[in-house]
Amino acid sequence: MILSEAASYVLRFINQTNRSIFLTGKAGTGKTTLLREIIRTTHKNTVVVAPTGIAALNAGGVTIHSMFQLPFGAFIPDYSTPTFSDSVKFETRDSLRRHFKMNAVKRSVIRNMELLIIDEVSMLRADLLDAVDFMMQSVRKKSAPFGGVQVLFIGDLLQLPPVVKNEEWDTLRKYYRGKFFFHSHVVQQHPPLYIELTKIFRQTDDVFINILNNLRNNIVSREDVQALNAHVKPDFNLRDNPGFITLTTHNAKADAINFAALEVLDQRTFEYSPEITDDFPEKIYPIEEKLRLKVGAQIMFVKNDLSAEKLFYNGKTGTVAALSQQEILVHFPEENKTIPVERYEWQNIRYVVNPNTKEITEEVLGTFVHYPIKLAWAITVHKSQGLTFDKAALDVSHIFQPGQAYVAFSRLRSLDGLILLSPLKMNGLENDPDVMQYAENRADFDILEHSLKRESQGFVRNVLKNSFEWQELAQQWRNHKFSYTQETARSEKGKHKTWADEQYATLEKLLDPAAKFMMQLDRLFDSETTDIQFISERIEAAINYFLHPMDKLVGELLLKIEEVRRVKKTKEFYSELIELEEEQTKAVLQLLRMKRFMEVVASGAEISKESLSTVAAKNYRDDKIREIRELFTQKFGEVIPDDAPIGRTSSKKQKKEPKKHTVQETYELWQQQMSVKEIAAHRKLTKQTIYTHLAKLIENQSILISDVLPQDRLDALAEIFIGFNPEDAVGTLKEKHGDEFTWDELKLYRATLSLANTQP
């Protein structure tokens, strides 16, 4: 992937420093594309959050409130007593600490988090960000901003602003100068580096780009207004101009336009519902639950085509060409092309920590599978954020928020596709003055380069020192050691007091040499010329010294966990051991990864997920568990079953490696000889969705249709498909032959015809 200079700096700051960053850019500059690249390449344990459910779903993350278990109320950044009324609720640090207890899974994720990405930050309230900062410091037990976690803020502040009720602001104004995220106390005291993407990919028309820039910067000239008003057509008729979408300011108006246009069509109405599996709350449905369509309806795609063909993009419009119960065909008039619309899979996830590698991974809680389209004669400016249109009619006569005009105009690729339904007036076009003032903080490339060099060396220094910083781990061992009281002496736990004393003594002996080594690292980095090669040698020597006793502690804990797990009335004791083992294993993994980290730094190679990957760390816990099983068998004469949960309860789920494309996941399970029913159950999807994946795999030649359907069915299908055009609806065949063939069989066979048409 070729990155702009600004985007390249963002990636380097993420991977080589711990500096928090605000990433912004005009509409169409590739913020979302860069977000995906960061997630794909960073070596850091990453969590993605957003202020709303839909924004989180689109970013592939979770909501801020769910991740940090925050209530839906305003936050006062002190320890006062919270106040409530019929219309507003206020929380304080004290009420959050006392009443909103976080579950073990989320606490583990926050403790292991290294990078927090907050998307759509324009909607993030100042008080909510301070609440996040407080929760992270509390859980991580570190007073640094966000508990020492690097934060990447992403968004365009000239788009959707935060929503604060007047009754809330009457109180919050005593604590905050404004409502935006940069007004929060944590950002005011520790400002992120401001990096702006400037290369525009959506527009190429210099005149239009200049007008958009002026809209952003509150310097709209008379000439700009005249240029836009040259496109005024108050009597513009959408029905006579297919492909145009109306952008308006209110939901009711957009809904009325869509409803009226659909009713005019003298065609049968088809209604489609989503396939919802497991946990997918209604409040985060990405599109309307019921999709009502007629042949001739103007629709818009709400997602990008993830396939190699890239047949559509988020915001592309088309016309419904054919409909049946389980099929939608869309025609693109300008390309004279018709395509079948496949259902899209949205996932509701939560973050969990892999107990073996301590890496943060995603666990799918439920799925929402629906056609990624919606009626598109009209849409609100608010909901158009992130979309791209070739042709749009703008109703901007009732602009009611700063920057709303900019959002509306910037959806278009060029002035050629613009229609104004009424003349543009100057009122309502000004952007928030606080946002404009904050934009003056953007860093130029000289500042970025200087800061990167300084921060990179500090990052290496801190990463190395943190690998030998075991005071918090020692405190956990110390707490465990002194938890053996007179009350526990006669309990099952009391039998293990001597063991606990011995293990704490082992760790305690390491604390002084570790502290001295960290002081040595400080001296080496503080010298006039930092000798990275010598530091690398010292790190290797330190690892050789500390690794064996630290590793032995992990082994002792896993062995004790195996022993205690088989004894009744030890649940609390078992939980204590689990928490200790988690932190002890994490400390060992840091040592193992440190060796590879220093090799990369010393060689001058780029620090990334790929360059830091190490088999030793990846397999460490699995190898350790195998070793403990053998020891346990020798000591107790008991063979541990392969599926026995070692060091974890059986209900704990573990996710696999990085997320693959949904069709690829189905393909890999198919290769394992799993049936459609088994794959659907395993993936929390319906059988119909899996058959859709198989059709795509047949089309791209990954599998043969003969692997899916028996020969007698193929022969029968071949006969009824004689003379069939792959761009036509198979619904006509379904109507003709009824229950003789299933929808899935018809779609699978059509995929072979699409394949035949694409071959030379």
Q: pLDDT tens digits for 483-536?
A: 888 777 778 888 899 999 999 999 999 999 999 999 999 999 988 888 889 999
Judged on CB neighbours under 10 Å (0-12, 13-18, 19+), 701 is exposed
pTM for the whole structure: 0.77
* Burial state string for 261-292 with b = 16 or more CB within 10 A and e = fewer than 16: bbeebeeeebebebebbeebeeebbbbeeebe
How distant is the alpha carbon of residue 662 from its chain centre? 16
pLDDT at 646: 37
Residue pair 446/228 in contact (Cβ under 8 Å)? The answer is no
Sign of CA dihedral 686, 687, 688, 691: positive
The single residue listed with the structure tokens 């990919």 is 201
- Residue 381, pLDDT score: 82
SS (H, E, C) 348-411: EEEEEECCCCCCEEEEEEEEEEECCEEECCEEECHHHCCCCECCEEECCCCCCCCCHHHHHHCC
By C-alpha distance, which of 474, 471, 481, 476 is closest to 502?
481
Task: Go through the domains of the chain in sequence order and give each one's CATH number.
Answer: 5-199 (3.40.50.300), 206-431 (no CATH), 457-636 (no CATH), 662-754 (1.10.10)
**b/e string for 129-161 if b means 16 or more Cβ within 10 A?**
bbbbbbbbbbbbeeeebbbbbbbbbbbbbbbbb
Strands in 193-197's sheet, in edge-to-edge order, are: 62-63, 46-50, 115-118, 150-154, 21-25, 193-197
| Look-up of token digits 């109180």 | 171
Contact present, 411 and 247 (Cβ < 8 Å): yes
Measured at the CA of 179, the angle between CA 191 and CA 31, to 5 degrees, comes to 60
- Paired strand residues for 360: 353
According to the model, what pLDDT value does residue 301 have? 92
Q: How far does Cα 551 stand from its chain's mean position?
A: 34
List the structure tokens of 506: 């082992």
Instruction: List residues bridging with 90 in a β-sheet.
Output: 74
Residues 6+ apart with CB under 8 A from 597: 463, 464, 607, 612
pLDDT along the chain (760 residues), means of 10: 80 93 84 89 94 85 91 86 74 83 86 94 95 94 93 88 89 93 96 88 78 79 87 87 87 88 93 92 89 94 82 88 90 89 91 86 91 92 80 77 74 90 70 82 89 89 92 92 83 89 95 95 88 92 95 92 81 87 91 90 85 85 85 65 41 43 84 86 85 86 87 88 80 84 88 60
Query: CA distances (Å), 304 to each of 30, 187, 308, 373, in order?
Result: 14, 34, 11, 11
Confidence at residue 88, expressed as pLDDT on a 0 to 100 scale = 82
pLDDT for the residue numbered 413:
86
pLDDT score at 652:
38
Q: Which residues, 6+ apart, have CB-to-CB distance to 315 below 8 Å?
A: 300, 301, 302, 384, 386, 387, 388, 389, 411
689 and 345 Cβ atoms separated by less than 8 Å: yes
444 HSE (CA, 13 A, CB side): 1
**Two tokens at 300?**
């818009």
Report CA torsion sign: 46, 50, 56, 59.
Answer: negative
| DSSP-derived 3-state class of residue 631 | helix
Backbone φ, ψ for residue 116 (5° rounding): -110, 120
User: Is the separation of the CB atoms in 214 and 228 below 8 Å?
Assistant: no
CA pair distance 44, 33, nearest whole angstrom: 18
Euclidean distance between CA atoms 619 and 356, whole angstroms: 8
Tens of pLDDT, residues 89-129: 888 898 888 777 788 889 889 999 999 999 999 999 999 99
Show the beta-strand stretches assigned E in 212-309.
245-248, 270-272, 275-278, 291-293, 298-301
